[in-house]
Structure 1
């Protein structure tokens, strides 16, 4: 029986009976008719063999059980018998192996698995055109692993080895050179946990997604869930989302698949584990987490000679403009509780010089602008709009309307655009900002607090969490930055509340106060310290920092 899951309405269904809507008492009659047809066609095949070469593979109907969803009028046969000259290779039966297609879809590859002889390291290639197997080739001795093909190489991830130990290395087989290699990837960035249950899926061309969810055993304590991406070209890990237990906790997940930049998990609640059932589904949009499979499509500016490039040129030269946009001078964002007139009257804020724009572009690209013009408000008649946001953010927002890109923007501008994207409901701009922050390494010791503060204002919990985790991992350096000194009491409390209740500082240094002493006194103290070190050497070895 074949089951399929509809991602649109999130329902399970299965392929129905061989003859659709047939009754159960018709099963035996249908099976007998199918078997009779098979015998007749086998006799015809034997007659044809007398006139054909032995090297030619023949086709045989081998439908011995009911096939659901197929009508009696369907003449296409789905199951073939693999035949060929003496000595043709046919893989032995196995379970828990891995399989994938080559990049051109003409061959299927199977690897490893458990056979009658134990854990296999064999890899076979099946050619669909000739219906012939080739192999075996020695590859990884694994089962429950995942393989994929990229750059004419077969890549193997995860799984268990002969001793039921988790395979930590990434292995590959070069189809062109018939060579095998492996690597243990070491990264300064957080990488997936060695424990827990690992699920692998495609992360786009040349990338693999590794999702770690808690395993079925608590022998190793709490397993931190995470989602990471491996670049097969550079062999670098990049975290997509860390500490994502809130998504996976309370359930046992048995399967995962990836499609259209989404991860789909199937499982059931921990409280109803009388029998295993795929009763619940979890869908994670990787773009919401800041990961995009096709990064080039999202960030590149218009090419020279295109319509977008020419329109952007008219904007830069202020040619044929019929509207103007004003904003707030400076880089400080004004409070949202004050009106524009109140901000100006306070004397703390001033209106910037106007930015000439084209109404047609903003009408097509900016829903907020289109609503204002459609209602024929004051801005419609004055051909002028003033926005209570920093002028630098607003100018970058207008440039995005022309370029459809945020390439070249600073971290201050990107985080500002992230706020504006949520204010004006611009999903594409939001996606570009999240991608830039998470995939271009914009979260550093000098920018982490800025990213965290802006993510709080934009109500972007994922970015907020990423920036907070960076602060915690580099706490000693973060607290010495000017940005940390400028935090208000409320902001400092909010940042500390990003930690778990069980969090604690695991490494610290007990600093001694510095005292100004003379050069002679310093020499005498150094001599005394050396004598103390020699006398207390054994005790010092037992002390820790």
Structure 2
């Protein structure tokens, strides 16, 4: 968003965690407004996007299911092939009706499959690390960005080093910089956590070197 936001002039576009422009105008414009005409559809009308959301994990229409942690997730092959390059090649070579997943947990894989139907994720910041790994493996760049946003919302002194380590591991540069700045701003508490004491040597050396250049050590 940018422009006049709550009386402040935001000159360049600023990333927010909103998923709808209506929410931005409702929360930040003065006065709160809607930026477009409100269209009231009949109660029984569903858009294409809404219809797809309803069909996620629907055993009545699905033609494929994933078995993760002994739980089923019902999906549609054609949608997966349309939405994901990984499935485009994988399902072309496979005619199985049930696929077992062992590399990722049920919350992570379910969130990934639901993302293919909704273009959004609903997952805890802790599980978002696993989803970030999946997004990196499957080369889903937009999903990778959404994971980073979710992880940022759950950062605290106790998990900051763990999140920083994950950001470095999965080459999430924006998240890495965010976690690093958080650690610098909460240096005293962060350095007293178990996670900091358990940092890998290379990561610790890079952190201290970067922190010194950022002025974390005054003397």
Q: TM-score normalised to the size of structure 1?
A: 0.32
* Residue aligned with 2:60, SS: coil
- Specify the alignment match of 2:59 in structure 1: 318
The answer to whether 1:404 aligns with 2:119 is yes
Question: Distance in 2 between the 1:481 and 1:468 partners?
Answer: 15
Kindly state the Cα deviation for residue 500 of structure 1 after the two structures are TM-superposed. 4.0
The answer to whether 1:417 aligns with 2:131 is yes
- Specify the alignment match of 2:3 in structure 1: 206
Kindly state the Cα deviation for residue 489 of structure 1 after the two structures are TM-superposed. 4.3
Kindly state the Cα deviation for residue 361 of structure 1 after the two structures are TM-superposed. 2.0
Kindly state the Cα deviation for residue 296 of structure 1 after the two structures are TM-superposed. 2.9
- Specify the alignment match of 1:372 in structure 2: 90
Higher helix share: 2
Q: 1:405 to 1:486 in 2, by over 3 A?
A: same
Question: Distance in 2 between the 1:422 and 1:501 partners?
Answer: 29
Deviations 1:321-375 (A, max 9, x none): 2112245x5xxxxxxxxxxxxxxxxxxxxxx44422221221121111011123x
Report how many aligned residue pairs link the two structures: 196
Q: 1:234 to 1:456 in 2, by over 3 A?
A: farther
- Specify the alignment match of 1:394 in structure 2: 109
- Specify the alignment match of 1:292 in structure 2: 15
| Matched ranges for 1:48-447 at <5 A | 204-206=1-3, 232-233=5-6, 235=8, 291-292=14-15, 295-297=18-20, 305-327=46-68, 329=69, 352-374=70-92, 376=93, 380-387=94-101, 388-406=103-121, 408-437=122-151, 441-447=153-159
Question: Gaps spanning 5+ residues in structure 2: where?
Answer: 24-44
Q: 1:325 to 1:486 in 2, by over 3 A?
A: farther
* Residue aligned with 2:79, SS: helix
Extract structure 1 runs of 4+ deviating beyond 6 A: none
* Residue aligned with 1:492, SS: helix
**Which of 475, 486, 509 is the aligned partner of 2:187?**
475
Q: Which has the higher contact order (CA 8 A, sep 6+)?
A: 2
- Specify the alignment match of 1:465 in structure 2: 177
Q: 1:316 to 1:357 in 2, by over 3 A?
A: closer
Question: Distance in 2 between the 1:392 and 1:293 partners?
Answer: 25
Kindly state the Cα deviation for residue 394 of structure 1 after the two structures are TM-superposed. 1.3
Deviations 1:31-58 (A, max 9, x none): xxxxxxxxxxxxxxxxxxxxxxxxxxxx
Question: Distance in 2 between the 1:424 and 1:383 partners?
Answer: 21
Kindly state the Cα deviation for residue 437 of structure 1 after the two structures are TM-superposed. 4.5
Q: TM-score normalised to the size of structure 2?
A: 0.70
Question: Quick check: 2:112–2:131 contact (8 Å CA) kept in 1?
Answer: yes
Q: 1:485 to 1:359 in 2, by over 3 A?
A: same
Question: Distance in 2 between the 1:437 and 1:366 partners?
Answer: 23
Kindly state the Cα deviation for residue 504 of structure 1 after the two structures are TM-superposed. 5.3
Question: Distance in 2 between the 1:463 and 1:294 partners?
Answer: 14
Question: Quick check: 2:157–2:183 contact (8 Å CA) kept in 1?
Answer: yes
Higher strand share: 1
Larger Rg over CA atoms? 1
Kindly state the Cα deviation for residue 485 of structure 1 after the two structures are TM-superposed. 4.5
